[in-house]
Amino acid sequence: MPHPLRSSAPAARLPAFVLAAALALLTATFSTLAPAPLLAAPGKGPDTVADVAERVMDAVVNISTSQNVAASRSVPQPQLPPGSPFEDFFDEFFKRRQDDGGEQRSRRVSSLGSGFVIDPSGLIVTNNHVIADADEIFANFNDGSKLKAELIGRDTKTDLALLRVKPDKPLVAVKFGDSEKLRVGDWVMAIGNPFGLGGTLTVGVVSARNRDINSGPYDNFIQTDAAINRGNSGGPLFNMDGEVIGINTAIISPSGGSIGIGFAVPAATAKPVIAQLGEFKEVRRGWIGVRIQPVTDDIAESLGLGKPRGALIGVVSENSPAARGGIKAGDVIVKFNGRDIKEVRDLTRTVADAMADTDVEVVVVRKGKEETLHLKVARMPEDDKPETPKPASDSQKVAPKKALGIELSAMSDELRKRYSIKSEINGVVITGVDASTPASDKGLKAGQVIVQVGQEAVASPSDVEKQVDALRKQGKRSALLLVSDGEGKQEFVTIPLN
């Protein structure tokens, strides 16, 4: 049997339409059998980012700064015995250096970073640490031009700064994208000025989201394996649509070079900060006046939450928005202004993002039940130190008792003096802890004050015993204690009841 694409007749004698049909069939067959192009295969990445890069490259700038640093005398004058043959020589040498101003001379220090234009009129975003302490700031553009920049405002907590240049013509600008839509594995592109090379592009993926690297109170970095090196700081991290979804800020590297672990401030964090810097030249964060701590497994069980979630309120400042709104110590905030609070950092960021004088709805879990409260957010004070809550009533002095491996005593003037307990702190004083008990493992020690047990205020050792017994009858596996030190710093601690 002949091959389906081969004829026994000479090809020259076949009609034209037969040849055309055979050629079409041959083309279709080979296109079916041929593999797809390599770059289009799943998992191989985008075909190219050249078009996106060409569109945004001119909006990325190199930031150069300089500052004068006073130089200290590096060579001390030697102390020579009187009459030494070198005494006159060294006296003359150092006198001449001083006359020449040698000890007063300063040296000029330069640094490099990156930034990007967000407004054609000349607004540029970068990292605060790129321009910190600079005497002069310059923006160097992709076309070779260079403009002096002025600082509009900075925010040290998110390490962001806003600059302004005055161009002769509108600049190429880029826009912020929605970083909340990012998924781990999405492709991203970084452009910056690594090691002063300028205009360098790298491509990678989103490695993780919401990273806390302990650099500030609002950490929620995007982690990427796109190569980020020294000099990339302040530069943009783009999505594949050419939108800025992050500001490259930090790397983890033992050598100083990229090892594929870089971090960027999400656009969702940066946008409100940049907007306020542009409007007020500072950031005006929201504040409600609480101290919070994480909800652990033990605390979640004690409070009837089922699983750890939300932020536990440890201290409520007197006359604060939280106090006026009805929030109490021991409440767990699970929703704030319509946003779910899964952990402590969520509440910190959400409250900070809220504008002052904004009315918000807050959902708390109190004694196992959800309650909805309303409060008005205030502006965060420069020094956010909450006032001490109102003191509870004084207790009568009774003999020391023990509960949960803790020796307990009623508050007295003698104990206040012995443990330096402030007068406004009231409760039951811990005067000893058995070393072999969970209370010791949890860090409880003499001199601390138990303020609450099971979210109920206690004023005597008997109150503690009664609350512990009540919790056992309720089937609780642990007791939730609100404990204060002598200065008034409070935290919740769980102690097993068995």
Catalytic residue numbers, as ranges: 129, 159, 233
Ordered alpha helix ranges (H), 304-412: 321-324, 344-353
Distance CA 293, CA 56 (A): 43
DSSP letter assigned to residue 298 = H
Q: What secondary structure letter does DSSP report for 30?
A: H
CB 272 within 8 A of CB 450: no
Q: 17 by DSSP, 3-state: which? A: helix
Nearest to 300 by CA among 348, 342, 248: 342
Check: CB of residue 267 under 8 Å from CB of residue 178: yes
**Residue 429's closest CA among 437, 438, 302, 444?**
444
Are the beta carbons of 251 and 229 closer than 8 angstroms?
yes
Joined together, the tokens standing for residue 376 give: 């008005």
CB 226 within 8 A of CB 188: yes
Tokens read off for 459? 């004023």
Q: What does the alpha-carbon distance between residue 365 and residue 372 come to, in Å, rounded to a whole number?
A: 9
Query: What whole-number distance in Å separates Cα of residue 486 and Cα of residue 284?
Result: 33
Element (H, E) at 319: none
Percent composition of the chain: helix, strand, coil (DSSP 3-state, to 5):
25, 35, 45
The DSSP result for 57-69, as a single string, is GGGEEEEEEEEEE
Instruction: Tell me the three state secondary structure of residue 247.
Output: strand
